[in-house]
Amino acid sequence: MNPEVSLTVKYGSSGPAYGSVYAYGLTVEVTNTIGMSGKIFVIYRSPKSATDPELKSADTLDEFNHVATPAELHSIPEDAPDLEQTGAAYRTNYWEFSFRNPSELADSLQLLKNDIKSLVRGVAHESEIVEYQEETYNG
């Protein structure tokens, strides 16, 4: 495996605010990378509602979908689309989650970590060329 592929991720979690329920937060941020993009979280932007033409922020339109695959690092753009461009996917290095209880947070955190490890292994493996083929085509 290629040792030049590395990803550092910072996780932060919070318990419920005093008197609050259903407010367990998780912040995930890719802070350092070697040999790959740090924008690994795939976000989908929902269509903008015609009933809210004054919407100025994408916060209510953007939804986390999954950790990117090695192929998606090449096919899904890194930058968020313009607010008017809806129904598009993009990748980011930072996301804030909210969970109903600590068990849901812990389970989701473990799934995220597994997906991130799998992505790094996939990118490292993808960069190894196992076999070359050479063919000549004549007209």
Q: Residue 100's pLDDT is what? A: 86
Q: Give the DSSP letter of residue 60.
A: T
Separation CA 9–CA 65 (nearest Å): 18
Q: Residue 87's pLDDT is what? A: 65
Alpha helices in the chain (DSSP H): 72-75, 102-126
**Statement: residue 55 has pLDDT above 80:** no
pLDDT in tens, 64-82: 999 999 999 999 999 888 7
Q: Residue 134's pLDDT is what? A: 86
How far apart, in Å, are the Cα atoms of 28 and each of 41, 112, 130? 9, 9, 34
Cβ-contact 43, 72 below 8 angstroms? no
pLDDT in tens, 88-110: 899 999 999 988 888 999 999 99
- Mean pLDDT within 21-43: 91
The three-state DSSP-derived secondary structure of 103-125 is HHHHHHHHHHHHHHHHHHHHHHH
pLDDT grade, residue 15 (50/70/90)? confident
What is the percent of the chain with per-residue pLDDT over 90, rounded to a whole number? 46
Q: Which amino acid is at 37?
A: S
What is the percent of the chain with per-residue pLDDT over 70, rounded to a whole number? 79
φ and ψ at 88, to 5 degrees? Answer: -110, 155
